[in-house]
Amino acid sequence: MVEKKHLTQLESFVGAQNIKSDKAHLIAYCYDATRDRFEPDAVIFPRDENDVSKILKYCNDNQIIIVPRGAGSGFTGGALPSSGGIILSLERHMNKLIEIDMQNMVAVVQPGLINMDLQKAAEKVGLFYPPDPASEEYSTLGGNVSENAGGMRAAKYGITKDYVMALKAVLPNGEIIRAGKKTIKDVAGYNIAGILTASEGTLAIITEITLKLIPKPKHKQTYMGIFPDVNSAMNAVFKSLASGANPVAMEFLDALVIKALREKLNVDLPEQAGAVLVGDVDGNLTDEVKFQLETLEKSFLENGATSFVVAQDEAHAQELWYARKNASPAITIFGNKKLNEDISVPRSKLPEALKAIYEIGDKYNLQVPCFGHAGDGNIHVNVMVKDKNDEKQMENGHHAIEEIFQMVVDMGGTLSGEHGIGTSKAPYMSIAFNDAEMELFRSIKKAFDPNNILNPFKMGL
């Protein structure tokens, strides 16, 4: 428990209205999308960078744990106070769009700004911020940077790290640093902005972010390919990309997801469909978009697609996208507990990886519907437990997850493509990293945070 005298001192920094320790606030800030619950001792809403500096210096001097939090939408427990302490919430006050610099095509934002709000502001002036996590309407950019969020457009445009140019951050001792520049090139010193990206709030508190923007493409069209089986679809993914296609998105649904969508949401997909690939292509010229669609269609059909559909208008596009956007809620027909992992493998390994995943599911008598970002090799694997109160079923589910992780790493893949490690994947870090690599991570953590006050024990550290 954080002593009352400490809360009183912290209140003097931010004002009584910006520090809460009542039960309602402790409950509201005790969980994320994992649904695991750890109550903090208090919640602080800093007003600015100076507040953050004062809070961290005091907490560092007094060995008080601080856990930074944006919208709390993460899937791995990265923003949970699993070791107690104080939640530092950046959503209330530090949520401004500071600047869109048209000349240098960058945006400067505070960490609490919502992703979609930046996208809309950029599009108003003809620019484009591509990273689009599924939580884009409520997740914060600080959280996106801390978890290195991806999204459906990553196949063409990359993920959050590809747009972070500079950061301002407060170290645990209260010192304020700047990492990176607005310049396109910068090779002076270590890439501290790169180290802070995906660090899950374990090294410093990000207080300002400079993000690259690009010109918004003038044309976009949506496509969908229907396949008889998963293997055909996965072959079509890497073969179409290798043949010159460059889609914005190439999203994947397997047969179990299609079954769930048909039964739960009455989605009009062929009953015999074994897999679906859906996505967008874009460009500044109509001929460019046409070339992309023709390349995809040719490759899809060569790899066994039974049909290839191009949206005729925006309403039709939304109809095609509806299945992908509702995949997650639909698959609850297979069980009341979903062990959701976001593994990523080299695209050429997708057919082999999906085959192995289904075999592991069969081994433990579990259904494992899969969907996700096939265009960049990032698949959402959903190990479905029929009854979460059945201890044996839950044990089997976790064994299946561990075997899937081992298989993925053996294929040259990774434990997480975009959700991060947090607490839920921390036990599996030894699968992906050897002792020397883990010790290097711990050394970096100690260099930034020698007293281990910032979000301790996340990522297996």
Fold category of 335-432 in CATH = Alpha-Beta Plaits (3.30.70)
- For residue 149, which of 169, 129, 166, 168 has the smallest C-alpha distance? 129
SS3 342: strand
Task: Give, in degrees to the nearest 5, the angle at Cα 147 between 146 and 149.
Answer: 120
pLDDT tens digit sequence for 413-457: 999 999 999 999 999 999 999 999 999 999 999 999 999 999 999
378 in Cβ contact with 346 (< 8 Å): no
Separation of alpha carbons 337 and 366, rounded Å = 11
Under CATH, to which class is 219-328 assigned? Answer: alpha beta
Residue 35: per-residue pLDDT: 87
Domain boundaries, the chain: 4-92, 97-215, 219-328, 335-432
The two tokens of residue 380 are: 């959402």
Longest Cα–Cα distance in the chain = 70
CATH 3.30.465.10 fits 97-215, yes or no: yes
Residue 138: per-residue pLDDT: 97
- Map tokens 């044990």 to a residue: 395
Dihedral of alpha carbons 312, 315, 319, 322, sign: positive
Torsion angle in degrees (nearest 10) through CA of 440, 445, 446, 448:
130
- Which residues lie closer than 8 Å to 61 by C-beta, 6 or more apart? none
Beta strands at 214-215 and 219-227: parallel, antiparallel or unpaired: unpaired
Enumerate residue ranges in the chain where pLDDT < 50: none
Domains 219-328 and 335-432 share a fold: yes
pLDDT tens digit sequence for 201-243: 999 999 999 999 999 999 999 999 999 999 999 999 999 999 9
Separation of alpha carbons 254 and 231, rounded Å = 10
- For residue 167, which of 175, 176, 159 has the smallest C-alpha distance? 176
Residue 180: per-residue pLDDT: 97
Residue 68: per-residue pLDDT: 98
CATH 3.30.43.10 fits 4-92, yes or no: yes
- pTM as predicted: 0.96
